[in-house]
Structure 1
Amino acid sequence: MEYTESKVEGVTILKLFGNLDMLNAGILKERIKESGSAGEIKFIFDLGGVSFIDSSGFGLIMSLNDKLAAQGGGLKIVNVSKTIQQIFKISKISSVIQIYVTTEDAISSF
């Protein structure tokens, strides 16, 4: 998995590419771990380039959301494919993590 990073209005936007699975979740986990020392607590994951998420990826998203929320921030998801969106609904993740159509909508929700 690869990602690009940008910041808008104090929000870190990670645009993800590839699979978010057991083999790749550690890359993202390390990046977020670094955020604590930098004071970053507001994140958006753009999943437009993600073709597959397994249970490790979903678990990572949930734990990061909890960690960031406890610090007064949060995690928002944008640009989700129909397949992944269905999995979010079935697993009820979409009832816990907010999913937005556009990055602008996600930024303004903070």
Structure 2
Amino acid sequence: MHNANDCIFCKIVNKEIPADIVKETANFIVIKDINPVSPIHLLIISKRHYNSILDVKGEGEIYGNEIFGLCGELAVEFNAVDKGFRVAINTKEDGGQTVDHMHIHFMAGRRFTWPPG
């Protein structure tokens, strides 16, 4: 299991290392991705450390509602309502997860293709 004390996202949440913070709620912090794959690429990071979405369990309904609400707010704030956006949760190695801390990618500003790759 991952040690939360060494987690870069926990350090961002705790403001121990700087990040370009876009929005903050009781349960999430939204930052600009430092390696964007689209003109708008934000990370919605859980303030509570979970290794992945698989660990959220009991709080899933509350978190899901808040995540969906945040995505709607971000779509409005970043003018992505009309053209659309993509939301992705990479989970474990084959899913492309590179940081063992539950987070959601919000991407917009270009056309995305399917399958994602």
TM-score (norm 1): 0.35
After TM superposition, the score normalised by the length of structure 2 is 0.34
Computing the radius of gyration from Cα coordinates, the structure with the larger value is 2
Higher strand share: 1
Higher helix proportion (structure 1 or 2): 1
